[in-house]
């Protein structure tokens, strides 16, 4: 194809033509809204580093769910802020824990919402690491049983999908076996299969109060320099029984999303993380960018790279924009 016989601009002349040949589309159905659930009643506190994102008490979730549904968003992922923390993160799997109560509230108030739960210990341990410690080291194998107990407690409370984010070796197999043993074989696992040790998580750790009290998480989260390792991690999770593979963060790792999309036939999720969200919000507040257009372009790029599902704090805003397009 050469000019002047082929003129690409012919198909860009107006919006109708552009829409007719559009290769990538976003839908509110593909979005998951992360929520931070806190103790108390009647509480709704904005996260300082994440404008428009709130920590909220369980009794506020029904209203939040209705707002989501009105925007066409039908899925949420829950993160809990417990009243107490301890070295083993026992609040993560407590029958009446914060996430377990949140699941039951959502299932009671908005049963059409798909409830996803984050399975990790970092919000519940007093040291802020994602597993049990032996000395100053996170012990992989001891942690597996607690992660499985946590996933089980979420599923028994009514969670539709459990999503382990800890990056311990073997946790998908442990969780799958535990769920199956308790007649919960139909509960899918959305594995944080490729989770990098990223600087983009800062605002989340502010929101969830889960920054490590010493050291960092580079001994279990992945090195940002590595891409072949991402394929090895994802392959392990596929073999252990994962139903969905997630990449986190998203924008800085579009190449990884694309590689997983090409390599595996499972659905691919991508987490547009707190730092990625906060940068757009901060620049928009300064008047440097058009927030809605940058939001839409960013999420479209994640979808174009190969993500079937996008976890984003922009879910409601993007949903409303899509419904009103």
Q: Which of 85, 149, 248, 316 is catalytic?
A: 248
**Residue 288: inside a domain, yes or no?**
no
Give the model's pLDDT for residue 210.
67
* Residue 9, phi-psi category: left (phi > 0), alpha (psi -120 to 50), beta (remainder): alpha
**Residue 86: inside a domain, yes or no?**
yes
Q: Two tokens at 126?
A: 């007093």
CB of 276 closer than 8 Å to CB of 49: no
Task: Name the β-bridge partners of 56.
Answer: 37, 44
CB of 191 closer than 8 Å to CB of 164: yes
**Residue 56: inside a domain, yes or no?**
yes
**Residue 227: inside a domain, yes or no?**
yes
CB of 266 closer than 8 Å to CB of 239: no
**Residue 137 lies in domain:** 25-245
**Residue 199: inside a domain, yes or no?**
yes
Q: Percentage of residues in the chain with pLDDT exceeding 90?
A: 84
For 34-38, 101-105, 124-128, 264-268, which range has the lowest pLDDT when averaged over its residues? Answer: 124-128
**Residue 278: inside a domain, yes or no?**
no
Give the model's pLDDT for residue 128.
75
Burial 83-106 (b: 16+ CB within 10 A, else e): eebeebbbbbbbeebbbbbbbbbb
Specify the DSSP element, H or E, that contains 142.
helix 140-157
**Coil, helix or strand for 248?**
strand
Q: Which of 74, 85, 195, 281 is catalytic?
A: 195
Domain count, the chain: 1
Kindly report whether the peptide bond that precedes residue 300 is cis, defined as omega within 30 degrees of 0: no
- The predicted model scores a pTM of 0.95
Task: Say which CATH number the domain at 177 has.
Answer: 3.20.20.70
DSSP-derived pairing of the beta strands 114-119 and 54-57: unpaired
Q: What is the pLDDT of residues 224-249, one digit of tens each?
A: 999 999 999 999 999 999 999 999 99
**Residue 319: inside a domain, yes or no?**
no
> Is 84 labeled as catalytic in the residue annotation?
no
CB of 87 closer than 8 Å to CB of 126: yes
Q: Two tokens at 15?
A: 């919006």
**Residue 279: inside a domain, yes or no?**
no
> Is 195 labeled as catalytic in the residue annotation?
yes
pLDDT over 70 at 214, yes or no: no
């Amino acid at each position: 194809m050469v000019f002047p016989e082929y003129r690409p601009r012919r198909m860009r002349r107006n919006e109708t033509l552009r829409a007719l040949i559009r290769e990538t589309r976003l839908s509110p159905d593909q979005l998951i809204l992360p929520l931070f659930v806190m103790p108390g009643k009647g509480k709704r506190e904005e996260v300082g580093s994440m404008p428009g994102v709130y920590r909220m008490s369980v009794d506020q979730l029904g209203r939040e769910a209705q707002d989501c549904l009105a925007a066409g968003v039908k899925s949420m992922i829950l993160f809990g802020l417990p009243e107490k923390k301890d070295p083993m993160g026992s609040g993560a799997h407590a029958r009446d824990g914060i996430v377990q109560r949140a699941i039951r509230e959502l299932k009671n108030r908005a049963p059409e919402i798909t409830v996803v739960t984050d399975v990790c210990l970092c919000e519940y341990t007093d040291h802020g690491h994602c597993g049990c410690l032996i000395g100053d080291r996170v012990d992989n194998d001891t942690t597996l049983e607690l992660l499985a107990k946590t996933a089980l407690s979420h599923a028994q409370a009514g969670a539709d999908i459990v999503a382990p984010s800890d990056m311990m070796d073997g946790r998908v197999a442990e969780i799958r076996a535990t769920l199956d043993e308790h007649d919960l074989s139909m509960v899918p696992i959305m594995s944080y299969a490729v989770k990098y040790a990223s600087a983009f998580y800062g605002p989340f750790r502010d929101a969830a109060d889960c920054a490590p009290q010493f050291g960092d998480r580079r001994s279990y989260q992945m090195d940002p320099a590595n891409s072949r390792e991402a394929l090895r991690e994802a392959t392990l999770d596929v073999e252990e029984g994962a139903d969905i593979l997630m990449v986190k963060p998203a924008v800085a790792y579009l190449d990884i999303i694309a590689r997983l999309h090409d390599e595996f036939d499972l659905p691919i999720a991508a987490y547009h993380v707190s730092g990625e969200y906060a940068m757009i919000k901060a620049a928009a507040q300064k008047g440097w960018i058009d927030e809605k257009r940058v939001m839409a372009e960013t999420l479209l790029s994640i979808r174009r790279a190969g993500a079937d599902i996008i976890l984003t704090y922009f879910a409601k805003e993007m949903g409303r924009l899509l419904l009103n397009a």
